[in-house]
Structure 1
Amino acid sequence: MRLLKVFLAAAVFPITAFAQGTAQRGIEVGDLNRSVEPCSDFYEYANGQWRAQNPIPPSMVRWSRRFASGELAKEQLKGILEEVSRKQDWPTGSVEQLIGDHYASCMDEARLEAQGLTPIKPLLTDIDGVKSAADVQRMIRRFHELDIAVPFALGAASDNHNPSQMITDIAARGLGMPDRDYYLKPEPRFKEAREKYLEHVANTFKLAGYTPEAARAAASTVFALESKLAEASLDNVALRDPKATDHKTSFADLRKLTPRFDWVAYFQGAKLPRADLNVEQPRFLQEVDRQLQQTPVADWKTYLKWHLLHSASQSLSRPFQEEIFSFYGRYLGGAKEEKPRWKRCVESTDALLGEALGRKYTEKYFPPEAKARMQEMVKNLLAAMGDSIQGLDWMGPETKKKALEKLSTFNPKIGYPDKWKDYSHVKIRRDAFWANVMAGRRFNVVDDWSQIGKAADRGRWGMTPPTSNAYYHPLLNEIVFPAGILQPPAFSMEATDAVNYGAIGVVIGHEISHGFDDQGAQYDARGRLSNWWTDEDLVKFQARGQCVVDQFESYFIEPGLHHNGKLVLGESIGDLAGARIAYLAFKKSQQGKPPAPTLDGFTPDQQFFISWGQFRGDAIRPETQRLMIQGDPHPTGKYRVIGPLSNMREFQQAFSCKQDAEMVRPAEKRCEVW
């Protein structure tokens, strides 16, 4: 999951030292599909039996022990929210009042059904009152204050050339489909998606009171404007290159770039400093400027109404909820049914009031000893990465020195922030769900905008504590592991080191290696977008990356549809390096200890690799796999297991695989980066 363009996410689970004298547990032997040879298909061997016995739940699009753990965390949050929402006399502005009343308002389905479209009618009326291009621009800023990022997004970001400073960043947004290719490419799957999208937009307008004919016309208007924006947008592969979105610009030059947009009024209204900023996609912003002149105001009003309806649908009555799920959840994602209401209300509370909810969550589910052990594990993996860099035979001493310098500046964040956000002035009521959503969104937007023009606050987090995920931020050179992902059942206090290093260890290594993947390697030790490679070493690094690209281009999810190697390059380097670094750290951890045990017939090395297969081996619906290979920088679960391990001699040795085995890449095709 990427919250910002620089965030590179990967799931992770905790490791804690098991108590002396406690029986050690190995891998989940019941998950193995022993009818398959590990050297033939390790994805199926490692946990094929678990997937066969645990089909994807109807409301989910991916499933594994890892995803089950993330859903368990939501049940834990539900318990917290139900407890605090039962009491209605909490002090106003307290954490308990805020999260309790928001959850209660979300769960009040009877009120939502009775209100229908009423909660957003004031905004719809304001859009009806738009008369000019200047009015359109004022409405765009109002939308941005509600975190409705159309047709562009504006927020705070670290300066690529001075990461200690926060500047305004303007990014391309404003599309209702996943990316530009859905509007422009001729393949049948994209054509079908366009037809389904037009139907979905029209259905939503009908729910808002339009006649069928007017709704179809409105949908065509929306699609026409979005298609023009899509034509001016970069594709997902181009967006992976930080240089492609690095366009530092003065405020004066921003006005010259887009002369029809009144940036003075926007920045005054938003109370933003008119200092240097970054425009990620200048061509896109020019197209927005052009459409302000060429597209009739009436069409802009239709476009704005659609994006308001789209943004608010989950907060309105049941027909709106069902319609948005029908396109995004069922058609695009493949889910069979919506998540239960309580779960969506938990997710809403986390999205809007995440650090308030996170305080209650971490008090109950993240003990200090878990944080201490994670800090120790990260330290071990950083040391292993240092050993790996020093041992590289393809990198020269000058580049090695720079790489080690960068490694030394890594900043790990574990569990939760040292300083919590103060939500006490957010107005949350039990009887006004959409009003609460707007209040929470406004708070988060103002909180973000307040950072612009200031020194970067390295104590801030880009994910909420209950989030079941992790990320690396190259400009701050930090790896972040929220408490929500540092939970059982993937980790057990009784697990062997091999099992723990195979799960958490690989993913810690994965996050560390993002600092040295195709994107991260372009940022130096201070987080600047600056080349620190010798020409010769850079060529060698890129050649090793091309090996990974070629490998993943050969992985098909269905006939005629394969991974985009350039899109998944960074995450695949992360998996490959993570597995190698974690294995090295595991071996070092055993020095000076009694020999690691063989359990259930599996050696420590076999436990390590099986643990990775069981951790990462997701079942994924076909529709979601198609979405992933189009726009997700992560490969599908099957190839996150098979891809890195098939390059590792240590895996081949652990399972005595023959040279011609499916899980052993030929020597001339074996990929080794870090």
Structure 2
Amino acid sequence: MTQLRHARTPTLLALALLVALGSGDAFAATKKKKAAAKAPAVSTECNDFYAAANADWLKANPLPAGVGAISALGNLRQYSLEQQKALLDGAMQAPQGNVQKLLGDFWASGLDEAAVEADGARPIAPLLSRIDGIRKSKDIPAAIAALHQVGIPVAFNFSPDVDLQALDRHIGYFMQGGLGLPDPAYYTRTDAQTRELLGRYRAYVKQILALTGTPADQLDAQSAQVLDLETRLASASRPLDQLASPFNNYKPLPIKDLKKQYRNLQLDAFLEAQGVKDDTVSLADPALFGQIDALVKQLSPEQWKAYLRWRVGDAMAPYLARSWREAAYNFHGRVLEGKQSPDPRWVQVLDAINTAAGPMLGREYTARYLPKDSRDKAEVIAASVRDALGRALERNGWMSTQAKAEAKAKLARLEIEIGAPRRDLDYTVQPMGRGSFGGNMLIASTWRHREEMKRIGRGNAERRWNVLPQQPALAYDLAQNRLIVTAAVLQPPVFDVSRDVAALYGSFGALVGHELTRGFDAKGRMIDAAGQLRDWWTPADASAWNALGARVTGQYNGYAYPGLTATQVNGTLTRDENLADLSGVELAWDAYLNTQAAPNPGAKQTFFRSWSQLWAQQVDPQEASVRVATDLRAPGPVRSNAPLQNQPEFSASFQCKPGNPMVRPEAEQIGIWR
């Protein structure tokens, strides 16, 4: 559901979005010693394939001053943003159809900064007036429900997600939320750094309250009330790491029981206001909602009003006049995200449109930027990689007979969806016009919320994507057993239709393989061929997989982290992605050989070069020092080289010799599916 600021949606068998920035600099070539001058020269490809394959890119893309990292895949994301801008510019000037007219007006209203400035806080005036109408505690639940309806979640989060007992349908999930800070722990830590952050946060709260009309002599008291209420919510919330498991978020509850358990909060009336007609919801943290229910009565209506005014102001600040935007950026952008400067205005407006009306833009984007030829080629390649996985299951040496049978049945049901969701959302949005950008945000956000609520209780989970077509991504949807390929990802360097088919298999095909194996690894084992939550591995399968993972962890621990001194890659942190990278190259290579009649040596080299060129990047040491501790993916040079060092076909293609840096001894090579 559309949630305008700091909402946390359930983490339920989520899409594993693949296209993301890597990290790291190119490996430094080892200088020859004079004593070894007469030794046979090692080709650049056999010494450091990443440096050889990406030499032109690295030379043409130096790291700009003040930028932490750039990458080939990051360039793809930037290109997709520019495509969206061009589409919206055209829709603003000469719309083709009603949807483009709506989008063009939305775009124009955001770019007209003079109009946004003149509009001031008028877009949220009705919401603030609604809050000001609260007189008694019994008025609070209806105000909470009304704000959720426009996409501003307060007090808690509520959104649809997959029903873990019936993966073909959605139910509504009541979850913790309603905080201005991203982590509940911020409110209760006592260290100096956190206390300083809280001080800056309170100053920001006062700024927003002042902009909503709170008198100056009441700002101290009302900001203290806001922090007190949020601290109470945070104290009853669970640590973020406990929310990572979908099972911790899932506890079905009959809706008829809500009224009895939460009389003050009136959650049954809340669901009615959202248009939810199902008979079951998930509410996994009754203690938290019991606390919120109690706070409705315990805290004064005036304290709730201060909190609600603040939440509206914080959520809508990026879409209002400059004073609002600067206040929001100075805290959220500079303090929390560490940004040095705000994004250009057009990027801010585009982000807003994708937040509130992303599926509308996605349909137009796919129609303009995804040629039928590209879609058709992508479907053929993805299907051939899926067939390669079927062959891999047949010859697999570590999986039990029982697990193989289930895996083959699951693979037979796996779907591939390319470009955009097969079914569009309802596009009957109210006319937005060009008069008020903030007003348009609320109109579009209300529409998105309504559409999301319609999903609850229906057996239509397969129609939903958790990523927009205009966002570059490949993803395996574990709950629905399908591969999702967005329109935006089918562009260079992932998918360049002007290049040889070998290049398409080496880049796009390998990424497809990377994602498809997610259905059959340690996480994929939790859902069987029938789409039921069931561990279909035997203990022996789990033991064999863990042994493979331990070998991969040890291997990656041995790589120096590019750009850092005396620092190694964290093989444990990056293990799952590393396993998927190895698998992806294996499967794509098998698919390529099975679809091409005797490819020549140059085509084989193109396959591997195309894989490596996905991971070209420039990263400064400060950014690298953050990534080594937090990034689940290995740095780009390692993502390029490590899988290839484990492929005998790579060394054969480039005639690398035993002992060359790009050739691992045969006993050390790891095969996952080959």
Q: TM-score range by the shorter chain?
A: 0.7 to 0.9
Alignment partner, residue 395 of structure 2: 391
Counterpart-to-counterpart distance in 1, 2:510 and 2:234: 37
Counterpart-to-counterpart distance in 1, 2:567 and 2:147: 38
TM-fit CA distance, 1:215: 4.8
Any idea what SS the aligned residue of 1:76 has? helix
Counterpart-to-counterpart distance in 2, 1:188 and 1:660: 52
Alignment partner, residue 612 of structure 1: 611
CA contact (8 A) 1:10 1:471 kept: yes
Alignment partner, residue 440 of structure 1: 444
Counterpart-to-counterpart distance in 1, 2:554 and 2:301: 48
Counterpart-to-counterpart distance in 2, 1:561 and 1:284: 42
TM-fit CA distance, 1:523: 1.4
2:376 aligned to which of 372, 378, 383: 372
Which is further off, 649-658 or 393-402?
Answer: 649-658
Change (3 A) 1:129 1:524: same
CA contact (8 A) 2:334 2:340 kept: yes
Change (3 A) 1:306 1:573: farther
Which is further off, 186-195 or 403-412?
Answer: 186-195
TM-fit CA distance, 1:382: 0.8
Any idea what SS the aligned residue of 1:84 has? helix
**1:506-517 paired onto structure 2 within 5 Å:** 506-517=510-521
Alignment partner, residue 322 of structure 2: 318
Counterpart-to-counterpart distance in 1, 2:64 and 2:85: 19
Change (3 A) 1:596 1:666: closer
Alignment partner, residue 21 of structure 1: none
TM-fit CA distance, 1:98: 0.7
Change (3 A) 1:46 1:443: same
Counterpart-to-counterpart distance in 2, 1:368 and 1:383: 23
1:585 aligned to which of 586, 591, 605: 591
Change (3 A) 1:389 1:260: farther
1:431 equivalent to 2:431? Answer no
TM-fit CA distance, 1:562: 9.6
Which is further off, 619-628 or 465-474?
Answer: 619-628
**1:489-504 paired onto structure 2 within 5 Å:** 490-504=494-508
Counterpart-to-counterpart distance in 1, 2:242 and 2:637: 25
Which is further off, 470-479 or 243-252?
Answer: 243-252
Change (3 A) 1:617 1:145: farther
Q: Which has the larger radius of gyration?
A: 2
1:470 equivalent to 2:474? Answer yes
Counterpart-to-counterpart distance in 2, 1:339 and 1:278: 38
Counterpart-to-counterpart distance in 2, 1:401 and 1:226: 51
Q: Deviations over 1:588-621 (max 9, x none)?
A: 344x2342416xxxxx35x444433331344467
2:602 aligned to which of 597, 606, 614: 597
Counterpart-to-counterpart distance in 2, 1:553 and 1:171: 38
Change (3 A) 1:130 1:614: farther
Q: Deviations over 1:391-446 (max 9, x none)?
A: 33221100111111111111111012344333234231110211111111111111
Any idea what SS the aligned residue of 1:480 has? strand
TM-fit CA distance, 1:380: 1.1
Alignment partner, residue 339 of structure 1: 343
Change (3 A) 1:571 1:223: farther
Structural RMSD (CA)? 4.1
TM-fit CA distance, 1:178: 3.5
Gaps of 5+ in 2: 1-7, 31-43
Any idea what SS the aligned residue of 2:602 has? coil
Change (3 A) 1:267 1:8: closer
TM-fit CA distance, 1:87: 4.5
Alignment partner, residue 355 of structure 2: 351
Any idea what SS the aligned residue of 1:8 has? coil
2:164 aligned to which of 140, 145, 160: 160
Q: Deviations over 1:169-219 (max 9, x none)?
A: 223333333334555667887666555544444444444455778556555
Which is further off, 433-442 or 52-61?
Answer: 52-61
Change (3 A) 1:10 1:210: same
Paired residue type of 1:76: Q
Change (3 A) 1:671 1:275: farther
Q: Deviations over 1:370-403 (max 9, x none)?
A: 1111111111111122222333322110011111
Alignment partner, residue 63 of structure 1: 70
**1:12-91 paired onto structure 2 within 5 Å:** 35=29, 47=54, 50-51=57-58, 53-55=60-62, 62-87=69-94
Paired residue type of 2:611: W
Change (3 A) 1:4 1:364: farther
Which is further off, 305-314 or 208-217?
Answer: 208-217
Alignment partner, residue 525 of structure 2: 521
Change (3 A) 1:283 1:668: farther
Alignment partner, residue 36 of structure 2: none
Any idea what SS the aligned residue of 2:282 has? strand
Change (3 A) 1:491 1:228: same
Any idea what SS the aligned residue of 2:130 has? helix
Paired residue type of 1:79: A
Alignment partner, residue 170 of structure 1: 174
Which is further off, 228-237 or 181-190?
Answer: 181-190
Change (3 A) 1:372 1:662: closer
1:110 aligned to which of 109, 114, 124: 114
Change (3 A) 1:277 1:577: farther
Change (3 A) 1:3 1:545: farther
Paired residue type of 1:63: I
Alignment partner, residue 24 of structure 1: none
Counterpart-to-counterpart distance in 1, 2:532 and 2:326: 45
Any idea what SS the aligned residue of 1:597 has? helix
**TM superposition score normalised by structure 2:** 0.82
Counterpart-to-counterpart distance in 2, 1:188 and 1:273: 48
Any idea what SS the aligned residue of 1:164 has? strand
Any idea what SS the aligned residue of 1:481 has? strand
CA contact (8 A) 2:555 2:571 kept: yes
Which is further off, 58-67 or 396-405?
Answer: 58-67
Change (3 A) 1:165 1:76: closer
Any idea what SS the aligned residue of 1:165 has? strand
Alignment partner, residue 35 of structure 2: none
Identity of aligned residues (%): 28
Counterpart-to-counterpart distance in 2, 1:327 and 1:665: 52
Counterpart-to-counterpart distance in 2, 1:549 and 1:287: 44
Change (3 A) 1:363 1:456: closer
Counterpart-to-counterpart distance in 2, 1:240 and 1:646: 33
Paired residue type of 2:600: P
CA contact (8 A) 2:556 2:570 kept: yes
Counterpart-to-counterpart distance in 1, 2:641 and 2:239: 27
TM-fit CA distance, 1:635: 5.8
Counterpart-to-counterpart distance in 1, 2:299 and 2:62: 48
Counterpart-to-counterpart distance in 2, 1:174 and 1:560: 43
Which is further off, 367-376 or 340-349?
Answer: 340-349
Alignment partner, residue 537 of structure 2: 533
**1:153-302 paired onto structure 2 within 5 Å:** 153-180=157-184, 182-183=186-187, 193-194=197-198, 196-208=200-212, 215=219, 218-255=222-259, 258=262, 260-302=264-306
**TM superposition score normalised by structure 1:** 0.82
The number of residues matched between the two structures is 646
Q: Deviations over 1:145-164 (max 9, x none)?
A: 12223332222223212122
Change (3 A) 1:653 1:325: farther
Any idea what SS the aligned residue of 2:134 has? coil
CA contact (8 A) 2:185 2:239 kept: yes
TM-fit CA distance, 1:491: 3.3
Alignment partner, residue 141 of structure 1: 145
CA contact (8 A) 1:152 1:170 kept: yes
Any idea what SS the aligned residue of 2:614 has? helix
